[in-house]
Amino acid sequence: MRAKTLPLLTGLVLLTACSGGGETPPSPAAAPTSAPQATPASPASPAPSPSSSSPAPPSSSSNPPSTSAAPPVGSGKVVVLDPGHNGGNASHPAEINRKVPAGRGQTKPCNTTGTSTNAGYPEHAFTFAVAREVGNALAAKGIKVVYTRQNDSGVGPCVDERAQLGNDANADAVVSIHADGSTSPTAHGFHVAYSAPPLNAAQGEPSLKLARTLRDGIRDDGFATSTYIGSAGLSPRNDLAGLNLSTRPAVLVECGNMRNADEASQMSSAAGRAHYAQAIAKAIEAYLAGS
């Protein structure tokens, strides 16, 4: 996977570089309706005279409930989505190869081109399509979505700029979406990367909780965890700029290996991309509900 630069739309996204090539990473409410009024029953005996001191029977109905709608599930929450790479990166090598800060005293290329399936379906197109579907699902729940890039034809943004977008948005969660390109014949499955050791409080328990929640949600939706990177679907990393530079809870999801025939088939189909998006969106919602 590789990064790209591009104007922002209505949402953000966090970026991280894929581990393409299979290299092993370093360790380190609908408003309630009013209750119907009960019709008083006819008395069995004559009504008391006006002079009677008997108290009036209590009303058979209470005040109707408020009809104001409850706030949306994600009211006030902000999620930055970072579709890895960009469609114009390959035609602008000088721009994407220039070095930018990557955290921990490192520098890295501004962005990369990303990988592709053996049939040529590019990672940047996959990540952009999935991020949009995830964003639409979250927005429908009242969650504000910010994207790090607004189309799939631009260049960048650089990895440090993508991280800054999440920081500036004060995001409750930053999720970078990628796919891997390992040529190992047995490499398949997804994994979720997070910054380790943490450089700030947000990179500690909040990011680890986000990573575990994404891992659990994607796995429970039927996707296998990685056979070649990390452990049980989690991968601590100290070399990913988007994670190192984040001051918000942030993770990078490698959805699978684009060089694996089965996963390439899923990623290349609209139905497969919708399945990935559904799993990721549900997991983000679960994290926000518990944060």
Residues designated as active site: 254
Burial class (CB in 10 A: 0-12, 13-18, 19+), 65: exposed
Name the region of 285 (left: φ>0; alpha: ψ -120 to 50; beta: rest): alpha
**Non-local CB neighbours of 160 within 8 Å, separated by 6+ positions:** 100, 101, 102, 241, 245
- Provide the b/e sequence for 262-284 (b: ≥16 CB within 10 Å): ebbebbbeeebbebbbbbbbbbb
Question: In 3-state terms, what secondary structure has residue 242?
Answer: helix
**Non-local CB neighbours of 254 within 8 Å, separated by 6+ positions:** 1, 18, 19, 178, 179, 180, 190, 191, 192, 193, 226, 229, 235
Q: Rounded CA gap, 269 and 147, in Å?
A: 23
Q: Rounded CA gap, 52 and 30, in Å?
A: 46
Residue 125 · residue 255 · CB < 8 Å = no
